[in-house]
Amino acid sequence: MSQSPLAVNVSDESVLKYKQGWRALNRLLHQDRSFSGRERNCVFINCEGKGFADNSAISGFDFPDDARAVVATDWDFDGDLDVWVSCRNAPRIRLLENRSLNKSDWLGIKLEGDGSLVNKDAIGAKVHVLTDQSDKPIIRTVYAGDGFLSQSGTFLHFGLGKIGKLDKVLVFWPDGTSYEVKGINKSAYYSIKYGDDIAQSIKIPELEPTTESPQNISPDEDEARIVLPARLPLPDIEELPKIQKPMLVNLWSASCQPCIEELQEWSDNIKIIKESGLHIQLLNVDIETPKNYQYPFANSSISLKGIRALDLFQKGVLDRWVDLPVPSSFLMDQYGDVAVIYKGKVSANQVISDFKLLNANHEQRRSMALPFQGLFISPLPKPDPRRISSQFLDADQPQEALAYLKKFDDRYPNDPDVLRMIKILKGGLGIPIDEAAEMMAAANKFREAGDKERAIESYKKTLSRFPKTLKAAYNLAYILATDKDIKVRRPQESRALALRLCNMTNNKNPNYLDLLSMAEASCGNFESAISAVTEAIKLYENQLDVSSAKLRLELYQSGKTFIK
């Protein structure tokens, strides 16, 4: 466990141990280990100041949850405290209703400031309650926060035991004033406003009785289907053929019974698999290739390096550092991007169903990954390869980390975070930055500074010396097609560059098709612009890109150009 330094000036060794502790803890959590060692929740009863007794089992608190935050509040307004508990694992939250038959006296008080001299929630105020059974006051304070990741309600609760009557209630406000408040009886709720010395009774709301929920702990499953909302390219695997069409890549072993069962079920359904057009590529993980191979699918062995690459990929995608089992499968689209990861067996029908949805829109793909319906409050994430490259780095494979980032950059160019990581890795590996990249960086700086003429000149110089620098062509064409200054725009030149980019990528890159639509619209060719952006929308993977492209489509349909 990481121990926080207790002083400002500590030794480098102490700081290192502190960081190592957090790193070890982070690794354990990512490996699905329990933060608390899987011990049950505990609760202790105060034995009238003479110590504490373990009351966990008899109270019903001893759930096997990884509990974190606790809030005590009279949730049902019956005079005793109930407890809310939040957990790291399921169930994420519990309400433990106090059903004790021991009905003692109590008091509930809600303080309210004037919002000027005292804050409205009366944070910092204290209440002293004296009864006929004690010469010492029971004291409660209104806190802004009173627990780890939790906040109990601002109602102050006083457990009074068995008393005859209340002797006195004193309120000490944060501004230094204090009052003895009248009109208060035991076992009731009251509101006290700043400046008043008479309490107001609070009517207790009528609530429906709570019903107990059974705790259904789902057993650990050996199978999982994970749909990626933001697809990522698979790392390069030497044994894997070049991906030019949708493909299911399956890891299997001849000594694995679930693998055999899965392959047999697929073989029994070979007709519908072939009719669907899905290609299945098996990768055998055994040291020696099985001699009696009998399945109607392409098969080859995979090296330990390839297995390791697939394992690090799935750990980075899922952010769970649990080893990849066999069987495992990766469903990829025609661009080599992974759409679905299957851990354990998967039926042929499920694979075919997912295969048919490879071209579904982004919202449909995200929804089909869930076992229930709901509303998303966040936009679809963009593809981010950095967690995967970090996995390669942690495994001491910096070359593979760099290769993966370069592959991602080829697929999704001009991501500034990815370009920065590539530069950092090259520097760490002692790889000189190529001159084209340096020229591109200089041109980008001119563009970011608003100096469009010098940016255009720098992009042209880059293309003159390095004609295959597609990013320079893209950035140049974008400025020439969309700049707000008519003196900067050169529509025909932009169109020529955009056509060249689309031809070089066989009209399969949505960014280049989108760029072509901007150039065509700038030339006044709105029908061609509509056609190009429509194709881009079909190919885009990110919802933000789709939304932006649809806005441009509306512009073209109304005969307007896109101006940045």
Is the pLDDT score of 217 beyond 80?
A: no
414 in any annotated domain:
no
- Identify whether residues 318 and 234 lie together within a single domain: yes
- Identify whether residues 174 and 193 lie together within a single domain: yes
C-beta of residue 43 within 8 angstroms of C-beta of residue 72:
no
Cα separation, 58 vs 60, whole angstroms: 6
Q: Which pLDDT tens digit goes with each residue over 344-378?
A: 999 999 999 999 989 888 788 778 777 777 888 88
Is the pLDDT score of 564 beyond 90?
A: no
Q: Which pLDDT tens digit goes with each residue over 74-102?
A: 999 999 999 999 987 778 899 999 988 88
Residue 556: pLDDT band with limits 50, 70, 90? very high
3-state secondary structure of 54: strand
Cα separation, 440 vs 13, whole angstroms: 43
- Identify whether residues 347 and 302 lie together within a single domain: yes
pLDDT of res. 2: 53
pLDDT of res. 552: 93
Burial class (CB in 10 A: 0-12, 13-18, 19+), 124: middle
- Identify whether residues 92 and 118 lie together within a single domain: no
Is the pLDDT score of 176 beyond 90?
A: yes
**Pairing between strand 189-193 and 279-284?**
unpaired
Is the pLDDT score of 3 beyond 70?
A: no
Cα separation, 379 vs 544, whole angstroms: 8
DSSP assignment, residue 198? B
3-state secondary structure of 259: helix
Assigned token pair, 306:
């390839």
- Identify whether residues 256 and 195 lie together within a single domain: no
The sign of the dihedral angle between the CA atoms of 528, 534, 540, 544 is: positive
Residues paired with residue 466 on neighbouring β-strands, in sequence order: none
Min mean pLDDT across 343-347, 434-438, 528-532 is at 434-438
pLDDT of res. 154: 85
pLDDT of res. 8: 75
The sign of the dihedral angle between the CA atoms of 5, 7, 13, 15 is: positive
% pLDDT > 70, the chain: 98
Q: Which pLDDT tens digit goes with each residue over 456-494?
A: 999 999 999 899 899 999 999 999 999 999 989 999 999
This model's pTM is above 0.85 = no
Task: Please name the amino acid found at residue 325.
Answer: P
Residue 349 lies in domain: 224-368
- In 3D space, the residue among 159, 162, 179 whose CA is nearest the CA of residue 171 turns out to be 179
- Identify whether residues 307 and 184 lie together within a single domain: no
Last residue of a domain, one of 73, 96, 119: 96
- Identify whether residues 89 and 114 lie together within a single domain: no
Last residue of a domain, one of 368, 397, 417: 368
C-beta of residue 345 within 8 angstroms of C-beta of residue 262:
yes
Mean pLDDT score of the chain: 90
- Identify whether residues 280 and 325 lie together within a single domain: yes
3-state secondary structure of 301: strand
91 in any annotated domain:
yes
- Please name the helix (run of DSSP H) or strand (run of DSSP E) that holds residue 511, with its range, or none: helix 510-522
The sign of the dihedral angle between the CA atoms of 394, 396, 400, 406 is: positive
C-beta of residue 282 within 8 angstroms of C-beta of residue 252:
yes
- Identify whether residues 236 and 350 lie together within a single domain: yes
Cα separation, 154 vs 174, whole angstroms: 15
277 in any annotated domain:
yes
- Identify whether residues 473 and 544 lie together within a single domain: yes
Residue 312: pLDDT band with limits 50, 70, 90? very high
Cα separation, 355 vs 249, whole angstroms: 13
What average pLDDT does the segment 503-532 reach?
A: 94
Residue 307: pLDDT band with limits 50, 70, 90? very high
- In 3D space, the residue among 358, 329, 332 whose CA is nearest the CA of residue 345 turns out to be 329
529 in any annotated domain:
yes
Assigned token pair, 245:
């069409």
373 in any annotated domain:
no
- Please name the helix (run of DSSP H) or strand (run of DSSP E) that holds residue 280, with its range, or none: strand 279-284
- In 3D space, the residue among 384, 234, 253 whose CA is nearest the CA of residue 312 turns out to be 234
Q: How far is CA 531 from CA 303, 517, 527, 552, in A?
A: 45, 8, 6, 12
Is the pLDDT score of 304 beyond 90?
A: yes
- In 3D space, the residue among 417, 420, 385 whose CA is nearest the CA of residue 228 turns out to be 385
3-state secondary structure of 359: coil
Cα separation, 122 vs 290, whole angstroms: 75
Cα separation, 314 vs 406, whole angstroms: 18
C-beta of residue 187 within 8 angstroms of C-beta of residue 201:
no
- Identify whether residues 446 and 340 lie together within a single domain: no
Q: What DSSP line would sit under 388-427, residue for residue? A: HHHHHHHTT-HHHHHHHHHHHHHHSTT-HHHHHHHHHHHH
Q: Which CATH number covers residue 143? A: 2.60.40
* Residue whose token pair is 């106090």: 98
* Residue whose token pair is 């952006």: 533
- Contacts by residues 440-443 (CB-CB < 8 Å, ≥ 24 positions apart): 440/469, 440/471, 440/472, 443/472, 443/475
Q: How many domains does the chain have?
A: 4
Is the pLDDT score of 29 beyond 90?
A: no
473 in any annotated domain:
yes
Q: Which CATH number covers residue 548? A: 1.25.40.10
Cα separation, 564 vs 479, whole angstroms: 9
401 in any annotated domain:
no
377 in any annotated domain:
no
- Identify whether residues 357 and 252 lie together within a single domain: yes
Last residue of a domain, one of 326, 348, 368: 368
161's torsion region: left (phi>0), alpha (psi -120 to 50) or beta? Answer: left
- In 3D space, the residue among 247, 224, 485, 428 whose CA is nearest the CA of residue 341 turns out to be 224
How many Cα neighbours within 13 Å face the side chain of 234?
30
